[in-house]
Amino acid sequence: MANHASAEKRNRQRIVRTERNRSIRQAVRTAVKKARTALAGGDEQAAKDRISEATRALAKAASKGVVHKKAAARTTSRIHAAFQRRSAS
């Protein structure tokens, strides 16, 4: 339990931040999953749209520090590489 006013404030801030980060992280996971599902499907335009959404969500989360910058770049790269492999064949 917090013993100082500043510690109580830090605890309130932690709760708000954690909740915000959790929702952003979940939105990123959903966008990435939709992109991978679209890649597995047949429609190329839908896959492009979903990949664009996932890339944007990852970049936004990385800029806010919710997801590590290199983790976001790695995931984006893998999604784009999968799309290129699928388009080439």
Give, for all 89 residues of the chain, the pLDDT tens digit.
Answer: 789 999 999 999 999 999 999 999 999 999 999 999 999 998 899 999 999 999 999 999 999 999 999 999 999 999 999 999 988 76
So what CATH class is 5-88? mainly alpha
Rounded to two decimals, the pTM is: 0.87
Q: Give the number of other CB atoms < 10 A from CB of residue 58.
A: 24
Q: How far apart are CA 30 and CA 43, in angstroms?
A: 19
CA 53 to centroid of chain Cα atoms? 10
